[in-house]
């Protein structure tokens, strides 16, 4: 039944991509995170971070267009650079 | 220090000068992201601290063949902010839906050089249908949930998911088609 096997592979890949896209945009529930972890285990062509990186690049493209970047407060920088960090 | 000089490998090695440079190079980007995803300045400050702590411990995972350092930092920041948003169950207020035609070739950003990754993403997005562009912008840039986008645009939830899945995959493929990643700020 090669077609059914093929269909199930397509469905599994679509589900994996849905989970990766959801994580990159609105986040996942604990159950979905576990499902994603299992789905990624057998993957060779898709990395766990692939769609998150794509979403980050898209964000940067829009951010550059909208130019809404704010300057980070100096006090916050100093707080992050405390001697116990990193 | 040049804006293109790779920093994350040095951060992973505990180089304090690289840590300072990293904060200077990516601070405004992370802060702006945090301000978009949080309700208050205090929440944004807490989130930024968490993001940089995460960055110090995740820097060794950076792979220059997959994305620029800026894209990697933006990814870590977005992931943490999305998790915080999800836990708070807060939704950004639905701004007036952006017309897809508003998406223009980005100008050079005043604080960060427009990266190869962002440039490829911009070019790729402009090849998508207006409805796809709109869905991607609302979900990725404006932070709306899939359901709220489906409701606002009056399209099926499955269509929103399909647009996102296909769009992000195309962007990823365009990024990977890059001949060589600089590994630096670009």
| Number of other CB atoms surrounding residue A84 within 10 Å | 4
Domains of chain B: 1-90 (1.10.1740.10), 93-186 (1.10.10.10)
Distance from CA of B112 to the nearest CA of A (A): 8
Among A10, A22, A25, A57, residue whose Cα is nearest residue B176: A57
Report the distance separating Cα A19 and Cα A52, nearest Å.
11
How many contacts (CB atoms, under 8 Å) link A and B?
182
pLDDT value for B183: 43
* pLDDT, tens only, B124-157: 888 888 999 999 999 998 888 999 999 999 999 9
Mutation target to probe the B interface, by most B beta carbons within 10 A, among A15, A32, A39, A72 is: A72
Q: Do B145 and A26 touch (CB under 8 A)?
A: yes
Q: Would you state the structure tokens that stand for residue B48, as one six-digit string? A: 């930024």
Distance between alpha carbon A65 and the CA centroid of its chain, in Å?
A: 22
**Maximum Cα–Cα distance across chain A:** 65
Q: Do B28 and A68 touch (CB under 8 A)?
A: no
Q: Do A81 and B31 touch (CB under 8 A)?
A: no
- Integer-rounded Cα Rg, in Å, for chain A is 19
* Conformational region of residue A67, where left means phi above 0, alpha means psi within -120 to 50, and beta covers everything else: left
CA dist list (Å): A53 to A7, A11, B86, B148, B171: 28, 23, 19, 23, 9
* pLDDT, tens only, A12-71: 888 999 999 999 999 999 999 999 999 998 788 888 899 999 999 999 988 876 656 788
Q: Which residue has the higher pLDDT, A67 or A8?
A: A8
Report the distance separating Cα B162 and Cα B165, nearest Å.
5
Report the distance separating Cα B24 and Cα B38, nearest Å.
22
Domain boundaries, chain A: 2-80
Between vectors from CA B142 to CA A24 and to CA B101, what angle results, nearest 5°? 110
CA dist list (Å): A78 to A83, B89, B156: 10, 30, 47
- The confidence band for B109, taking pLDDT boundaries of 50, 70 and 90, is very low
B12 and A CB contact within 8 Å: no
pLDDT value for B166: 93
Whether residue B159 is predicted with pLDDT greater than 70 in this model: the reply is: yes
């Amino acid at each position: 039944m090669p077609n059914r096997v093929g269909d199930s592979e397509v469905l599994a890949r679509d589900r994996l991509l849905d989970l990766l896209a959801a994580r990159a945009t609105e986040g996942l529930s604990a159950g979905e995170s576990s499902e994603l972890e299992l789905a990624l285990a057998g993957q060779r062509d898709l990395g766990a971070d692939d769609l998150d990186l794509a979403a980050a690049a898209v964000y940067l493209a829009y951010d550059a267009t909208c130019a809404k970047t704010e300057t980070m407060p100096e006090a916050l920088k100093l707080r992050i650079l405390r001697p116990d960090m990193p | 220090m040049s804006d293109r000089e790779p920093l994350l490998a040095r951060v992973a090695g505990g180089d304090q000068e690289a840590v300072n440079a990293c904060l200077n190079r990516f601070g405004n980007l992370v802060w702006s992201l945090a301000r978009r995803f949080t309700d208050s300045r205090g929440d944004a400050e807490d989130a930024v601290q968490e993001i940089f702590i995460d960055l110090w411990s995740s820097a060794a995972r950076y792979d220059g063949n997959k994305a620029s350092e800026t894209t990697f930092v933006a990814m870590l920041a977005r992931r943490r902010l999305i998790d915080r948003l999800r836990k708070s169950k807060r939704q950004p207020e639905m701004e007036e839906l952006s017309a897809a035609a508003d998406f223009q070739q980005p100008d050079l950003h005043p604080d960060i050089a427009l990266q190869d990754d962002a440039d490829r993403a911009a070019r790729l997005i402009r090849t998508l249908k207006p409805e796809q562009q709109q869905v991607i912008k609302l979900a990725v840039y404006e932070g709306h949930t899939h359901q709220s986008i489906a409701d606002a645009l009056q399209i099926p939830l499955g269509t929103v998911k399909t647009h996102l899945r296909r769009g992000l995959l195309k962007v990823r493929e365009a990024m990977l088609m890059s001949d060589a990643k600089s590994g630096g700020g670009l």
